Structures are given as structure tokens and as C-alpha cells.
Amino acid sequence: MEIIKTKNLDLFYGKVQALKNINLNIEKNSVTALIGPSGCGKSTFLRTINRMNDLIDNVKITGEVLYEGQNIYSDYDVIELRKKIGMVFQKPNPFPMSIYDNVAYGPRVHGIKNKSRLDEIVERSLKGSVLWEEVKDRLNKSALGLSGGQQQRLCIARTLSVEPDVLLMDEPTSALDPISTLKIEELMDVLKKEYTVIIVTHNMQQAGRISDNTAFFLNGEIVESGNTENIFYKPLDKRTEDYITGRFG
């Protein structure tokens, strides 16, 4: 059953059209990978889902993006939306605060002040991103002292703290070393039990390893989308096959 659905989505930066007629369904509790060469629109598409594109002037969007059946632009308050749909970025960006305060930021901003509730949320979120054991004794130390991979898992914990339903990940491991990358990929299998994950990646092996469904973007359009095994082993479109086999991209 689908949790996110886009209908005839077009996006323009000024006069330039970055997304063309995107129709995509995202299944609940699945991991969907968005793949394609640089500049093909996959990150732009991802950022449409939690309305991060609102931050850019000159952006025009037509078509519909439905979350649980409701249009996120007309029927939803953007703040509520971002509680339900969280985002992890390519470069880890912890706040210059303690580990605890980083994870507690989201709940605090949404009005939760009770210390024991916050403690519980922090612990749950850090466990959810498999970071708890490594940091539980130094929650008050600055987040900037963590390694890159740990910082990214902290950012994931931070996103989990507001109890979203969907996690958007924009190339979350491209700035990390192979071991951290592996840890986060293992995390995805665990995360999808409770959440729906959409991940943008230019690493095709990663997409093949961790996702249930894949969408292949090219020049702002979706060329082909569907079950990951099908896309990778039995692509219908020649362009998909060329990309998967590495002829370009």
C-alpha cells in the first residue's frame, strides 16, 4: 500500500524545467532507491517530498504530491509535514551542541520540555540508529568530536527523534568511509520495519543491495521504476540497461 504518491509532478527553477511529469508510488515500509546520473533530478525530487524546495526562490511546482492521500502543498502545514517526513543529508551536519542536545532538538522545538520524556526519546532514537552503545557515556560531549560515520548516525537519530513515518536520505553515505557506509546500509534493513525509506544514491551497488524498489531518473524524468530485482536484472528500457551496466553516468 502506498504512502506517498506523486501525480504529474513538474518542477521549474525559473524557466528551467528540472522535473518532468513525475508519477511515482512509494510503498509503505519499503526502501526505495532513486538512481541516475548527476543532475538528473533525483535530489530535487526528494526535496519536493518534504517541501525543502520551498526554501529556494523562483521554484514553481505543478501537479500533486500526496502523503497518505492528502496533498502536501494545499492540505498540510509544512511544520507538521516535516515531523512526519524527515531528512538526512549528504554531508553530516550535527549542530554545534552536545550529542544529547542534538537529538533532543527536534522534540524541544515541537514543545516537549519534560526531562524524563526527552531522556527517553534520546535513548530510543540513538538506539534506533545503532549509536547508543557508542555514545551513552558521553551524551554531554560535543557532537563535533564524533567521527564522520558516527555523526551521520547521530543525524539519523536526530531525524528519528520526532517520530516520522518516512525517512528521506540524500546520498547519506557518499561522504563516509566504507566501514561506516556498511554500518548504515545494515541500519536500513532495520529501519524499514518501522519506517518508509527513500534514498538517493549514485552508488548502484548500494541501491541493488539495500532497496526493495528502484526508480531510474534521467534528465528530470523517470525512465523506469519498479521492483529492484527487475530493474537490475530485467530492465525494460535500453537507457536503464545502459546505466546499470555502466555505459554512462
Q: Which residues bind another protein (CB under 8 A)?
A: 50, 52, 55, 57, 79-83, 86-87, 89, 91, 93-98, 105-106, 108-111, 141-142, 144-145, 155, 158-159, 161-162
For the bound state, the minimum distance from the C-beta of residue 48 to another protein, rounded and expressed in Å, comes to 13
C-beta of 31 vs 49, nearer to another protein: 49
* 161 contacts 108 by C-beta, under 8 angstroms: no
At closest approach, how far in Å is the CB of 85 from another protein? Answer: 9
Pick between residue 38 and residue 58 the one whose CB is nearest to another protein. Answer: 58
In angstroms, give the least distance from the CB of 248 to another protein: 30
Instruction: Centre a 10 Å sphere on the Cβ of residue 120 and count the other Cβ atoms it contains.
Output: 12
Of residues 73 and 212, the one with the C-beta less far from another protein: 73
Which CB sits closer to another protein, 151 or 214? 151
- 89 or 132: whose CB is closer to another protein? 89
**Closest separation in Å from C-beta 245 to another protein:** 35
In 3D space, the residue among 69, 93, 67, 92 whose CA is nearest the CA of residue 81 turns out to be 67
For helices 99-109 and 148-160, the axis angle rounded to 10 degrees is 20
Q: Are strands 59-67 and 166-170 parallel, antiparallel or unpaired?
A: unpaired
Task: Record the cell numbers describing residue 197, joined without a space.
Answer: 525509506
What's the min distance (Å) between Cβ of 95 and another protein?
5
Q: Mutual orientation of helices 148-160 and 178-194 as an angle, nearest 10°? A: 10
**For residue 142, which amino acid is it?**
S
C-alpha 81/C-alpha 102 separation (Å) is 20
